[in-house]
Amino acid sequence: MKKRLLTIGVCMIALGAASAPALANDGYDLWLTPAVAGTAAPDIRVIGQSETLTLAAGELRRDLAASPLPVVLARADDPALAALRLSTATLGEEGYIVRTATIDGRPSLLVTGKTDRAVLYGAFALIRAQKTGVDLAAINLTSAPKIGLRVLNHWDNLDGSVERGYAGQSLWDWWTLPDFKDPRYTDYARANAALGINGIVINNVNAKPESLTAPYIAKAAALADVFRPWGIKVYLSARFSAPIELGHLKTADPLDPEVQAWWKAKADEIYRAIPDFGGFLVKANSEGQPGPRDYHRSHADGANMLAAAVAPHGGIVMWRAFVYAETDPDDRAKQAYTEFHPLDGKFADNVLVQVKNGAIDFQPREPFHPLFGAMPKTPMMLELQITKEYLGFATHLAYLGPLFEEVLKADTRAKGTGSTVAKVVDGSLYGHKLSGIAGVANVGRDRDWSGSTFNQANWYAFGRLAWDPTLSSEAVAREWAQQTFGNDPRVIDTVVRMMMQSREAVVDYTGPLGLAHLMGTGHHYGPGPWISDLARPEWNPVYYHKADKAGVGFDRTKTGSNAVAQYEPPVAKLLADPRTTPESELLWFHHLPWDWKMKSGRTLWEEMVAHYDRGVATVAQMQAEWQGVKGSVDPERWQKTATYLEIQHREAKWWRDASLAYWMSVNGLPLPAGAAAPEHDLAWYKAQDFPMAPGHPH
Ligand code: BDP
């Protein structure tokens, strides 16, 4: 906090200078940049009283620069607004209106909604509008979230480490909770509320039973107290076998009455401490976690037992479909569908099935998961990974907006053309009341929260797309850049250009044309396409690319695993034929000869090499673009980004060289004319070892 105040002070001094130089900024403020530029404090009036309304006014006082009109905050049902006859029918509980209106005879800027938290969201929308250049004198916004549960999943462990976290230790200081409520918890809540995020799962899906003990419930309750006025509910990841570990029962069988009673009592205990507790997130029978399958019960049996425990309190269960088993010889990409599809209609009303965007595991590109659209009777939550486990950790610049947009806009064809994943997730396709979206958080104790300035954009994009999944990722990038870097159009244009090409660059240099899961074991850092010696076949990169002298790629058509049949027939038909499969997903679905003719006229091998080269070249171009804004961005954030881009360039080249060295060892082909030889031989790349890489238990 101290440092931030200092930063603001420096800003104010610097403002006096004729041509304001770039200012010191450690990124702590995220998109909540305080208004400083020669502003008169706006006139803000709150009608009505609540902690949340007070917070909303505080945000405006801090971040809104001079307003052409006095600002009035009020709930829509306040008698002071009756004469306006506001049309609130489409607002729901969280939607807001921000518009000019005459109130008590005074032309004003009205921020309203049906609830206090809707007003809070409206206040943030007003600030955002000002920072993105909207003329406040003519403002007229009405907006309601399309998705109900907009949730961050923290993979934070009780020992303070964060699974797949690259931004320092956990934000939660479990040791000093519940007594000490670090002011960062409030700043964290503010940042989320500004985006409309309304739920936080505070502990890792690989959950420890201890998180359900009385001391940890008290710690969760302390966080819930901080988050509540910001419209955010707390959720817990639950370990399925907790009745055994904590309750000393002999079983965790979901059909056992004692087990059911244990969970009911546990839920009652949690709700006594956290009356608005959101509910449970569960990873069951996946990667060694216990679950109902241990007792030959279905995932629905497991989910419904927990759902019954929280239902009397209005809670929900988010049950993950990320399952695959070493005992199942079938294509890993098929297993979640095989397991869950028959359970459609069997889940309790307060259960959502949470499905990763693709059928494997958060790879830089995956086709959309076939479960989307395939379980019409079940609310389906989309799980995205904001932390970049497979996209270069914190150091690589990879804006995930396009990845999120790609899956949201993917057309499942489940109810004809236009049955997008977004419409499955927002509940509109099948008329579900419950709807949700989850993002695996990229937040830790680093001063800049996310490990780099540009990683903040991924958190931001998740929140904004969760509110409105029809937004374009480019528009989101632009508004983020304006709030983060100010309004120099040259800086903004540069930043947006860099962002919009960055994710594709990562795809290009790590695994183009539908290749996936080629990374090093365990830590998932760097290339390892050669790895073939792990106990479970589907943990080995060779399982995914199936490269041999004749060709490369996973045949998921009829001649192979037939995973394509899990998609709706019109989608399946396109994917069954390599000529109609998008080239970006080609090797995900097909095993093709190295000399397969691509649309460009090149062979598959030549095309692969071209993609690797393009990926590295794009990073070099981002470096050049960033050099071009030196002096126009504050030195602290500029330098860290420049250095990270250097790391990214080195590592992009490493990925390219290591991958090509490996592919050549398999296909025996020479590099196309003009392509540079890998810097080292394959043995060198294979010998690299990273026992202390972050985000992974050592
Ligand atoms: C994988 C991660 C692992 C997570 C798992 C999950 O490597 O750390 O536990 O996803 O989502 O991608 O459960």
Whole-number Å distance, alpha carbon 108 to ligand 1 midpoint, is: 50
- As given in the structure block, the two tokens for residue 505 are 């660059």
Q: Is the pLDDT of residue 19 over 50?
A: no
Supply the pLDDT for residue 480: 98
Other C-beta atoms lying within 10 Å of the C-beta of residue 411:
18
CB 287 within 8 A of CB 280: no
- Structural domain boundaries of the chain? 30-143, 149-485, 508-554+591-687
**DSSP summary character for residue 62:** H
Supply the pLDDT for residue 22: 52
Average pLDDT over residues 607-631: 98
CA atoms within 13 A on the CB side of 478: 11
Q: Is the pLDDT of residue 15 over 60?
A: no
C-alpha–C-alpha distance, residues 625 and 174, integer Å = 42
pLDDT, tens digit, 9 for 90 and up, residues 22-35: 567 999 999 999 88
Other C-beta atoms lying within 10 Å of the C-beta of residue 44:
20
pLDDT, tens digit, 9 for 90 and up, residues 210-230: 999 999 999 999 999 999 999
Q: How confident is the model at residue 7 (pLDDT cuts 50, 70, 90)?
A: very low
Measured from the CB, is residue 164 less than 6 Å from ligand 1?
Answer: yes
Other C-beta atoms lying within 10 Å of the C-beta of residue 260:
18
Give the residue numbers annotated as catalytic, written as ranges: 287, 361, 389
Closest CA to 402 of 459, 482, 476, 309: 476
- Classify 149-485 by CATH class: alpha beta
Q: Is the pLDDT of residue 571 over 80?
A: yes
Torsion, Cα of 203, 209, 215, 221 (10° steps): 40
Which helix (DSSP H) or strand (DSSP E) does residue 317 occupy?
strand 316-320
Q: Which atom of ligand 1 is nearest the CA belonging to 205?
A: 13
**DSSP summary character for residue 18:** S
Average pLDDT over residues 485-494: 96
Q: Which atom of ligand 1 is nearest the CA belonging to 206?
A: 9
- As given in the structure block, the two tokens for residue 245 are 């570990």
Supply the pLDDT for residue 478: 98
C-alpha–C-alpha distance, residues 289 and 55, integer Å = 41
In single-letter form, the type of residue at position 18 comes to A
**DSSP summary character for residue 36:** -
Measured from the CB, is residue 362 less than 6 Å from ligand 1?
Answer: yes
Q: Tell which one of 164, 240, 281, 391 to mutate to probe ligand 1, the residue whose CB is within 8 A of the most ligand atoms.
A: 164
CB 362 within 8 A of CB 349: no
C-alpha–C-alpha distance, residues 231 and 190, integer Å = 10
The SS3 assignment for 595 reads coil
Average pLDDT over residues 178-189: 98
Supply the pLDDT for residue 41: 73
**Residues 6 or more apart in contact with residue 475 via CB below 8 angstroms:** none
Supply the pLDDT for residue 10: 40
Q: Tell which one of 154, 205, 282 to mutate to probe ligand 1, the residue whose CB is within 8 A of the most ligand atoms.
A: 205
Instruction: Mark out the alpha helices in 228-289 (DSSP H runs).
Output: 242-245, 257-273
pLDDT, tens digit, 9 for 90 and up, residues 340-356: 999 999 999 999 999 99
If you average pLDDT over every residue of the chain, what do you get? 95
Concatenating the DSSP letter of every residue in 153-195 gives E--B-TTS-BTT--SSS-S--TTTTTT---HHHHHHHHHHHTT
C-alpha–C-alpha distance, residues 194 and 648, integer Å = 30
**DSSP summary character for residue 437:** E
Q: Which residues pair with 439 in a beta bridge?
A: 152, 384
pLDDT, tens digit, 9 for 90 and up, residues 117-149: 999 999 999 999 999 999 999 999 999 999 999
C-alpha–C-alpha distance, residues 387 and 368, integer Å = 19
Q: How confident is the model at residue 39 (pLDDT cuts 50, 70, 90)?
A: low
Q: What are phi and psi of 237, to 5 degrees?
A: -75, 135
Looking at the chain, the number of H-run helices and the number of E-run strands are 20, 15
Measured from the CB, is residue 206 less than 6 Å from ligand 1?
Answer: yes
Closest CA to 78 of 122, 41, 113: 113
Query: Edge-to-edge strand order for the sheet containing 44-46?
Result: 44-46, 71-75, 106-113, 96-103, 140-143
Architecture of domain 508-554+591-687: Alpha-Beta Complex (3.90)
C-alpha–C-alpha distance, residues 650 and 486, integer Å = 30
C-alpha–C-alpha distance, residues 179 and 342, integer Å = 47
Report how far apart, in Å, the C-alpha atoms of 141 and of each of 95, 125, 274 are.
10, 9, 34
Q: Tell which one of 153, 206, 523 to mutate to probe ligand 1, the residue whose CB is within 8 A of the most ligand atoms.
A: 206
Supply the pLDDT for residue 12: 39
Average pLDDT over residues 433-452: 98
Q: Is the pLDDT of residue 9 over 90?
A: no
**Residues 6 or more apart in contact with residue 302 via CB below 8 angstroms:** 240, 254, 282, 284, 291, 292, 319
C-alpha–C-alpha distance, residues 84 and 88, integer Å = 11
pLDDT, tens digit, 9 for 90 and up, residues 61-110: 999 998 999 999 999 999 999 999 999 999 999 999 999 999 999 999 99
Other C-beta atoms lying within 10 Å of the C-beta of residue 261:
14
Measured from the CB, is residue 322 less than 6 Å from ligand 1?
Answer: yes
Whole-number Å distance, alpha carbon 502 to ligand 1 midpoint, is: 23
Whole-number Å distance, alpha carbon 361 to ligand 1 midpoint, is: 8
pLDDT, tens digit, 9 for 90 and up, residues 479-489: 999 999 998 99
Q: Is the pLDDT of residue 20 over 80?
A: no
- As given in the structure block, the two tokens for residue 515 are 């290749």
Supply the pLDDT for residue 327: 82
Chain-centroid distance of CA 422 in Å reads: 15
Average pLDDT over residues 322-344: 94
Measured from the CB, is residue 508 less than 6 Å from ligand 1?
Answer: no
CATH 3.40.50.300 fits 30-143, yes or no: no
C-alpha–C-alpha distance, residues 424 and 152, integer Å = 19
Q: Which residues pair with 162 in a beta bridge?
A: 156
Other C-beta atoms lying within 10 Å of the C-beta of residue 43:
14
Supply the pLDDT for residue 37: 59
The dihedral sign for the CA sequence 513, 516, 519, 523:
positive
Supply the pLDDT for residue 24: 76
Share above pLDDT 70 across residues of the chain, in percent, rounded to a whole number: 96
The protein residue whose alpha carbon is closest to atom 11 in ligand 1 is 322
The single residue listed with the structure tokens 């999944």 is 469
Q: Is the pLDDT of residue 2 over 50?
A: no
